[in-house]
Amino acid sequence: MNLDEVKKIAEILHTLFCEQTHEPDMMKIEQTSNCIFYLEQSIDRTWELSAHQEWLAQAKFLIKISEPLNIQEVLQEMIKIYQVAEQFKKVNPKLLEFIKILIS
C-alpha cells in the first residue's frame, strides 16, 4: 500500500472518529473549529504536522492489525458501524455513550 492510500485511510478515520468541532461559523469573525487536523489542512506540508501524523499513525496501525484482511473491506465495515452509531445518536445520544464505555 502506498503513502497516498494510507493518507486516504487516515482521512477516512478522521472523518469517522474525530469528535472535535469542524465547521467554521460564517456569522462570526473567529472560526469555531477546535480540530487541529482540520486547521492544519490550510498549512503547507500538512502531512508533516502533528495532528496529521497522529491520524497517519492510526491508519498504519489499522492496516497492520488487519493485514490478513482486505483493508478496503475493513474500511467498509467501519463505515457501516459509523452509520449505525449515527442512528443510535439520533435515537438516544446517551445510548451511544454507553456503548462506547462498554467496548472500551
Residue 2 near residue 59, CB atoms below 8 Å: no
- What number is the average pLDDT over the span 5-31? 74
Torsion-angle region of residue 24: left (phi > 0), alpha (psi -120 to 50) or beta? beta
The amino acid present at 11, given as its one-letter code, is E
Q: What's the whole-number average pLDDT of the chain?
A: 78
The amino acid present at 30, given as its one-letter code, is E
Helical H segments across 1-104, by residue range: 3-17, 36-40, 50-65, 71-91, 93-103
For residues 8 and 84, the model is more confident at 8
The amino acid present at 91, given as its one-letter code, is V
For residues 71 and 103, the model is more confident at 71
Confidence of residue 55 (pLDDT cuts 50, 70, 90): very high
